[in-house]
Structure 1
Amino acid sequence: MSRYRAVVVGLGGLGSAALHRLATELGPDVLGIEQFELGHHRGASQDHSRIIRLAQHEDAYAAIAAPAYKAWDEVEAESGQRLVTRTGGLVIEDRDARRTIATGSRNIEGYTAVFDRYGVAYELLDAQELTSRWPQFRVGGSEQALYQAESGIVDAGRANAVHIALARAHGAEIRTHTPVRDIRPDGAGVAVVTDSGTVLADRVVVTADAWTNQVLAGAGLSLPLTVLREQVTYYSTPHLAEFSPARFPVFMWHGHHNFYGFPVYGEVATKIGQHMGGDETTADDRSFEPDPVRRERYSAFVKAHLPRFGGPELYSKTCLYTVPPDQGFVLDRLPGHPQIVVGIGAGHAYKFAALIGGLLTDLALDREPAHPIDAFSIDRPALTDPSFPRSFHV
């Protein structure tokens, strides 16, 4: 049997980043395993664009937001490829609509309080100031907006490919179309069982997202994860200049629903999605057919608030969120089996992916993580207390 110092199971956003960082340190003693083709569309790390932002509602994420930008800068410098496009970013709160949402929903004050603690510059705008700066928006008057200039787009599909290429440049081996059937602690190491044979590893990093519990079953662990089918729509707007990255920022809109949107990028089209609220499913049973309710919801929002953003639908597509009860990341070693490291992004990790790759590498190589990740431990109450309530924010 082949033996490696480290094996990464699952080569999406977090796994490809971890493979790059591990290969940088360990060279050809690293193996990456992907059950499908590279860049497949069955998980969470597909498509062109993800929002990257310093705007965070909780300290655990604010503490790693600026380091994530630095990590992306390092990947860009090593590869010579542009992965991050700064557009500026808006968080818009429709205060009248939010009064009907349950307590615990996110609001502007939550973001500004964290910004103030971390010394991040921002602007607060009322509805009139918002539309004066960005006349593309139509508002009712109760809106308040937060603008932060460093927000932008990280190109997910391109970044995954760059991480894979850099890992190969450092000597990593990659096996695709290779489902992992089992991982079993084997003394101080791990046996990784696939259809084509078993490999041995000193350390294994599991970044299998919706397939996490299937992969970890042999290690005796099952996490309380909810898999949601989420969806985005691209519109072939005829107003390209108005919605170019130079003239229109990424945005999040907190109203009856939590929408997010992008300027023209990746496709000759704008893009909109809704954070959370998708149907529960499983990795194997999920449908790839877009939900017509979501389509209509997006269309109604665009007609009401961004009429020139819309146009003929280019396409809608689905992806998966894999979410613990508290909607927090999981970045930790397995209790009792520290040679196995788990990374779960909870549907909102891509902006941090380049950094998380390094943090998972720290864990795999028995180092203190370079940044605080105690909030993402695998033995926190949300993951160990069966009575812990699901608290997904919307």
Structure 2
Amino acid sequence: MDSPLRIGLAGLGTVGASLARLLSTRAQTYALRAGRPIKIVAVSARDRSRDRGVDLSAMAWFDDPVELASKAEIDLFVELVGGSEGAALASVKAALNRGIPVVTANKALLAHHGVELAKLGQKKNATIFFEAAAAGGIPIIKTMREALRGNAVHRVYGILNGTCNYMLTRMEKEGIAFDDCLADAQRLGYAEADPTFDIGGFDAAHKLALLTSLAFGCEIDLDSIFIEGISSVTNADIEAAAELGYRIKLLAVAQRTDSGIEQRVHPTMIPAHSALAQVDGVTNAVAVDTDLLGSILLVGPGAGGNATASAVLSDVLDMAKGVRLPTFAVDAKQLAPYKRARMRAHEGGYYIRLSVLDRVGAFASIARRMAENDISLESIVQRKRDGQDAIDTAPVILITHETTEAAVKKALDAVSKDGHLKEAPRMIRIEALD
């Protein structure tokens, strides 16, 4: 058997501790699978005294992950520190500059610096693997980078944030209000004390940026992603969606269009009978539409110590076996410049909720504004009025036939200026998923 793969592990949080325990308790199994022993020989974390359920006494301890990456006698650097800047970025650069390959679960780091780091690694003959950086334990990176290499990808989309999916699931099934559901998610550890990164759609956007590069062989462009979170989704929207045969999910979508690549993260109504609509709770799911294989869907745990450690282990075992592939599937210098599609180019149906003031001519004015923008309506539903505040308003739901987002925005701006609405209109995109 070959000499051991010596790992330097930076970060001993939930995922790092799980990885250390698994490499300790399953050492013989992993050695057989990799063809060589795998040993963590150096670690870095903030607290030396914390009990992590694994014996770290034989490992060199570094208070600074950059020092570990720069000086430790290692063959592989595993970065689980987190964050797009600071110690995470500096330590990964330090390892790559030594020609040491890197495994990371850090989506933010790669979304902001992935192309730069891939080029550095390529220059130093050091690969970066990042299976755990998108969709937790789901093997979507390996699938796209290896199994689908013979396919042209048309679209990649999915549920990439477990916190949002958990909240939308409970709001639908239990009728819990958004704020109460968020409080429960925080209490259970699914949401942070400041949940903005999750419920604002930014976590999903970081993951989507990586999948977009793999799908289309282009440079990462996080700033080109249209991002809308779930904080404006109400129980009324969820109830209306159910009545119309849809479920609401925070969907991340990247697709090639005639004008370039479109990336967006936003609440979406998807058909209730679709496979993606059945994905509930903290589970993630990623679908890929290709020319040869057609469509595939991968579903699994999107977070958690063992799930994420499973993805990290997959990369570690590949490294131990000598697998070396370009970080983003092609030579980093050959990644195409990102060409952004026309702003908000989504074409499809739309759900529109209006709080219409109960006055003569209001409905006629709304219909006229829709017609002026060539928007055809599939259905118009006036919902039951709720509470004293609704005495002078009529809650109205419009479902459009396929149209452009630009047309819908223009029509709704005109409706708002006409003064017939009590509050700003609410719009949710509809994806057919066919």
The structure with more radius of gyration: 2
Give the number of the structure with larger relative contact order, counting CA–CA contacts within 8 Å between residues 6 or more apart.
1
Pairwise same-fold verdict (TM > 0.5): no
Normalised to the residue count of structure 2, the TM-score between the two structures is 0.28
Q: Which has the higher helix share?
A: 2
